[in-house]
């Protein structure tokens, strides 16, 4: 049976990759994308579907009960995948309000509509950051949540609120907690696209603190496959970690980028550390592995493909690096010359 997907935040990085992923599948009846088009939302990511009958874009806010209800009434979605969020940790440290509103109240609005209208699956896209930092070993789904910045705290709020709608009202919720994604269409404020595009412009790469914080990198297409896998094979009320299995220090990623672009290490600039900077994220993914999912992309190749994508899509990222983002950046990182 063909399915209708209600995607929120589909004009952002992971959301737009997920829409591309769905649109390639015949068994997808319709993709409805509700996006507020914040600075991070870019309809150009999906412009090839402008005249596609299966794709419906709705410009709006997930906190707007009326729009959300209308979408349920009109499209009767089978699946809802909630990507919409304020997603950048540094911005949450500077101005947490939008994070509380969208990440928590927005999730609440969607959950309420799902409770009223019913659907087959509600996927809440959570993050590895909800566990907090871990010095050694890896977090399991049953470990306590210890978020340490306003972004991860708001995501933890939504994560547990979603669970409560399963436990209390039997809304068929599944929660996924993925590690750091990389790939095409990522806004050039996040580590990899920022450093690739800065290096291309011979601008400094601002490495926070000692550069030894560790992140586990997951190729975005592997994440998309995992989400659909969880929709089909996951159990309601459950949480699934989704990791890439590629733990690297930020300085290692930085060197890889410089090497691939043929740029000198003198572009690295050590700057003040992020406040409350989590040292290391690490996920134990046995639960999903046992169900049969594994990442297929090999980091060494996928990072090169990603760098090449930004190299070949200057028209995509150049407009994003002017104006609002640069202003924000200048006020927050005065140590960067």
Interface with ligand TDX includes 218 (CB under 6 A)? no
Interface with ligand TDX includes 267 (CB under 6 A)? no
171 binds, among ligand NAD, ligand TDX, none (CB under 5 to 8 A by kind): none
The residues facing 218 across adjacent strands are 181
Closest CA to 113 of 72, 74, 141, 154: 72
Residues at the interface with ligand NAD (CB under 6 A): 8-9, 11-15, 34-38, 40-41, 61-63, 83-87, 102, 106, 125, 127, 155, 178, 180-181, 187
The catalytic residue among 61, 86, 128, 278 is: 128
Interface with ligand TDX includes 91 (CB under 6 A)? no
Query: Which ranges of 122-175 would DSSP assign to H, the alpha helix?
Result: 150-169
- Strands, E, within the chain: which ranges? 3-8, 28-35, 55-59, 79-82, 121-127, 173-178, 180-182, 205-208, 214-219, 239-242, 247-249, 268-271
Cβ at position 76, least distance to ligand TDX in Å: 30
Does the annotation mark 129 as catalytic? Answer: yes
194 binds, among ligand TDX, ligand NAD, none (CB under 5 to 8 A by kind): ligand TDX
Cβ at position 289, least distance to ligand NAD in Å: 18
CB 161 within 8 A of CB 155: no
DSSP 12: S
207 binds, among ligand TDX, ligand NAD, none (CB under 5 to 8 A by kind): ligand TDX
Cβ at position 332, least distance to ligand TDX in Å: 10
Q: Which of 194, 248, 267, 268 binds ligand TDX (CB under 6 A)?
A: 194
Given strand 247-249, what is the order of strands in its sheet?
A: 180-182, 214-219, 247-249
263 binds, among ligand NAD, ligand TDX, none (CB under 5 to 8 A by kind): none
Residues 6+ apart with CB under 8 A from 212: 249, 250, 251
Does the annotation mark 324 as catalytic? Answer: no
The catalytic residue among 35, 86, 103, 129 is: 129
Of how many residues is the chain composed? 337
CB 6 within 8 A of CB 34: yes
**Main-chain phi, psi angles of 268, to 5 degrees:** -70, 130
CA 213/CA 65 separation, integer angstroms = 40
Cβ at position 166, least distance to ligand TDX in Å: 22
* Backbone dihedral region for residue 54 (phi beyond 0: left; psi -120 to 50: alpha; all else: beta): alpha
Does the annotation mark 21 as catalytic? Answer: no
125 binds, among ligand NAD, ligand TDX, none (CB under 5 to 8 A by kind): ligand NAD
- Name the site residues for ligand TDX (rule: CB under 6 A): 87-89, 127, 129, 180, 190-191, 194, 206-208, 213, 215, 250, 274
Q: Which residues are catalytic?
A: 128-129, 151
């Amino acid at each position: 049976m063909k399915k209708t997907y209600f995607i929120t935040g589909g004009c952002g990085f992971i959301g737009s990759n997920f829409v591309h992923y769905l649109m390639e599948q015949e068994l997808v009846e319709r993709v409805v994308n509700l996006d507020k088009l914040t600075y991070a939302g870019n309809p150009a990511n999906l412009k090839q579907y402008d005249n596609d009958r299966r794709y419906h874009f709705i410009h709006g806010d997930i906190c707007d009960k009326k729009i959300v209800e209308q979408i349920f009434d009109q499209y009767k979605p089978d699946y809802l995948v909630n990507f919409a969020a304020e997603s950048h940790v540094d911005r949450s440290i500077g101005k947490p309000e939008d994070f509380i509103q969208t990440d928590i109240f927005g999730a609440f609005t969607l959950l309420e509509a799902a409770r009223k209208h019913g659907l087959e699956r509600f996927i809440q896209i959570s993050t590895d950051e909800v566990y907090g930092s871990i010095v050694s070993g890896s977090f399991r789904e049953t470990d306590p949540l210890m978020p340490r910045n306003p972004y991860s705290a708001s995501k933890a709020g939504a994560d547990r609120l979603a669970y409560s709608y399963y436990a209390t009202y039997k809304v068929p919720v599944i929660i996924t907690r993925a590690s750091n994604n990389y790939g095409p269409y990522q806004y050039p404020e996040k580590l990899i696209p920022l450093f690739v595009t800065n290096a291309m412009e011979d601008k400094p790469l601002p490495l926070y603190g000692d550069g030894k914080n560790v992140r586990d990198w997951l190729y975005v297409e592997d994440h998309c496959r995992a989400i659909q896998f969880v929709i089909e094979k996951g159990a309601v009320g459950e949480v699934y970690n989704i990791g890439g299995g590629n733990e690297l220090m930020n300085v290692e990623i930085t060197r890889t980028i410089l090497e691939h672009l043929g740029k000198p290490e003198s572009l690295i600039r050590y700057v003040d550390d992020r406040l409350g900077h989590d040292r290391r994220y690490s996920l134990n993914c046995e639960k999903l592995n046992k169900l049969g999912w594994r990442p297929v992309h090999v980091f060494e190749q996928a990072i090169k493909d990603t760098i090449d994508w930004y190299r070949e899509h200057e028209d995509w990222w150049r407009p994003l690096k002017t104006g609002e983002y640069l202003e924000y950046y200048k006020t927050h990182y005065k140590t960067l010359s």
